[in-house]
Chain A
Amino acid sequence: MSGEFSFVGKRVPKLDAPGKVTGQTFFGHDMKLPRMLYGKILRSPHAHARVARIDVSKARALPGVKAVLTAADIPDIRIGWARDHPILKSDRVRSVRDEVAAVAAVDEETALEALELFEVEYEELPGVFDPEDAMKPGAPLIHADAPNNIQEKMRQSYFHGDVQKGFEESDVVIEDRFRMPFVTHCCMGTSFCLASFSPSADLTIWSSTQMPFLYQRDLSMALGMPASKIRVIKANIGGAFGSKLDMYPFEPICVLLAQKTGRPVRIAFSREEEFVASPTRQPVICDIKSGARKDGTLTARQVSMILDNGAYSSWGATTPLVMMLTISSLYRVPNVKYDVVVAYTNNPYSGAMRGYGNPQATFVVESHLDMLAHELGMDPMELRLRNANQPGDVTGQGVKITTCGLTDCIQKAAESVSWKQKRAKPGNRGVGMASMIHVGGGARIYPSDGCGSTVKVDDFGKVTLISGSTDMGQGADTVMAQIVAEELGVPVENVTVVNTDTDLTPWDVGAHASRTTFVAGNSARLAAADAKRQILEAAAESMGESVEDLDMKEGRIYRKGEPEEWIAFEKTVRGKHFRPDGDVVLARGWYEPPTEKQDKEYRGNISATYGFAAQAVEVEVDTETGEVKVLKIAAAHDVGRAINPMAVEGQIHGGISMGLGYGLYEELVVQEGQVLNPNFADYSLPTALDMPEIDSIIIETDDPAGPFGAKGMAEPACIPTAPAIANAVYDAVGVRIRDLPITSEKVLKALKEKQAKAEEEK
């Protein structure tokens, strides 16, 4: 199929790779401006306390310190979607990461020294560290306007059909509780921000943000500055994975320090600070009840979740909006009910993290589906195939499924791990699988889900795509260069991509929901098509032909059917330009996906298309230590079309390593609000030695809405891994672990309980 394309479907190396392999690329952490100061933040050591007194005098007096800030110096600025998050805390701290003061100094060492000189008097208050406890009467109140510590704005109730009836019609009904912990992004580049004011009070901010335009707006609202005086420029980031999808206190603090000193200020987190102070993945306590008929038809799914909001609200609390898609629409389930309550605690708050709640929801749904299969005495693969979503389905939530390769994904993943031969065999090896659904064509969570692009073609044949989108290292720029090259008809080497500078680029909502290839790609395609039209019209005029008879490919303009007689397109561009009535080639594209915002009952088709995937895993369990070793992961992903198969594979591998970590190794251990393992020694990311054999299977369903058929696929790669592993462990040794991560200790304990039970029953 990809034989018809010049650049789509090709393994084009990443455009920014040469700079990165030579060490030439400037990352945010490498940036220095003249007279730049270094900012550091004083954070609360207590999870819950009254702030009785802050004395900054000694800190301010330290030579080299140019400014200090506390809440007393600024208006009461509250950020976050719930506006419950003061950027500097005045009378109360509610979590260990709370920002109490800030300092800007001539170098980092001085700034750190200054932190030790702040004198803060705290009166400790009792804290609450479990969301269920937080909602009980008598629990310490964290925010005065949230009785029982409930974040009422995120209390949600969704349903379609009638689960009561569904359960009555079931032959098998099972109920279980699952728990998912705090894990964190661990971007190799820590959080950072560089703010600089011009003499006319225009702010330029270099940021690692994934959403430059919303960030611009958030800054404007927080600081009371017109957004037109704020320029947000992307710095090269050492990874994002959702962590940079919100604005956090350190960023407006950085701006305020720059304002106060009249000098550029840079704040960069240490690794320990990154672990302690950056947002986590949303932890979830989940109760699920599932029903099915004995022929394997799913009848009902009832889910209720309790979310630990932490001390302040960030995107973590909104993950139910994404989890709802899986709960309502993964497989055909006629009756669904989903209730969520979100409670404040004195724990860290959660943000967006790759998958945005879907890894949690999928862990629950897909573990439970396997448990249903075992109750029914059915092959879990068969149960999935029987209930798989099909193209054309409209789910109970109003989700319109167009292209859908789910069945193919399940079958191919299973085949790759030799499912039929390896399933349900004695010994300590086993296979398990899980599938997933995720938005693949944007996600309308904001009034606009669009992206703007400009394409400029210069007199030498250089094509510049100016896009509102954000490349956070995932390779979106390269994919868009391929799309432009293909649509316009020029070599991909001619294309340069410029993005994330709010002064230059058209609007885009941000890099989230795996929307960049789809939305920004479609936008780029439209702009490229416009540029092609302008060029061919000029060629038609100069050649005395009609536009319909001309085409352009790999930089050559020719009459259709006569490709050997061609003229170089840059000649046409120059000819169009250098004459009295000339013009340059400047094209535009704006793409707004044809989707709906959800109604008050959370129904609506929020994405233009949906991605599907299935991962199958083979594991070996050491029954003496409980250690789980993953031998192989087969990942089959319906991506619509792989514009750059090498980039798609890279996302699959990276996503799997994240899913593997979530399933087996990673946990941010938080006790009484304190992070006990804020370092890489004790927070176990998978290393090269921990990675199993991976078979990446790209399934192409050629989506009509996507650019050249492509759908978003970057988040899906980390979504089914953990449940597939849990299911494989069950197949191997018959124990079901319901709370992540699946540690060797939990497996061993479960094995012993199983053995004890078996002996009792003898």
Chain B
Amino acid sequence: MPDAIAWFADIGIDDRPIAGGKGASLGELTRAGIAVPPGFVVTTCAFDQFLAALEARAPIRARIEACDPDDLAAVTALSRELRRRVEEEAMPAEVEDALLAAHRTLSGDARTPVAVRSSATTEDAADASFAGLQDTFLWVIDAADLVARVRECWGSLYSVESITYRRRQSFPEAGVAMAVVVQQMVDARAAGVMFTRSPTTGDKSVVTIEGAWGLGSAVVSGDVTPDHWVLGKITGEISVREISDKHVEHCPLARGGIEERAVPDERRHAPCLDDATLQVLREIGRRVERHYGAAQDIEWAVDRDGAVLLLQSRPETIWSTKPVAPVAESLANPLGHVMGVFGGRR
């Protein structure tokens, strides 16, 4: 049986079935030499062992397959019951030992806080976003807390939305599994997202960057209006620079977890990134895009020393799935094209 734990350096994008999309992508980035906070994946093998023990006590998968997705009350009751069972069931000893050993290695004597994030295996973007949307736990310090958070991530497979979606699509439960990413936490000075093409026009010649003060969760959750920049992907020229009023930021708590704080006045209207860092981000975006050969949707953070780290990169899905029309009609005689200007059809 494969290992319960897989370090980023040892996995790649093809390991999605055991590491989930997020985990496999972080492995791939690590291997490609892109700076990501170090970490490991609690693989689906660990989940499978855990679920087998749970199933042995009382059925889970059969219950889901039997439920009617249109009966919201029934699904809600089932979800509540199954999530409670997942969160209360002890981990198999060998899984827990491996997890705690890996955590000691990652966190070290400094007890570096970690992020715990669900990493769905499904190829289905909609499903992936249901299972795991809320299941990112930041600034986890305590080992026992870590174990509980991993179980919560597993339990997210049984959220009302996730169950309903799978039943509506008639997915077999047998293939459903969840990996969990455990990663050193970046004490972000600023964080946000980057698209390596324009989200509004689909233009592949620009990179769009959005960011705000503090941890990236403030941007992803929509708690703050981020600063917004558009850069020429090739030229680096900054064509759009919208500095917003960033009234709050997400900050870590010493005891673990995060809180929302008001941003002091002197920083509220100041850009959260300088031009040099924007250019570093652009270069990283181009590298990742070249690595995958496709436009990317990236989460990034800048640590207290100013280093840029990627927290996630996934293929851009809105524009890349649209049919592409030719820019202009192909003509044997290039002079025909000037009629577009001189013919008055502008």
Chains A and B are bound partners: no
Q: Which residues of A contact B (CB under 8 A)?
A: none
Q: Which residues of B contact A (CB under 8 A)?
A: none
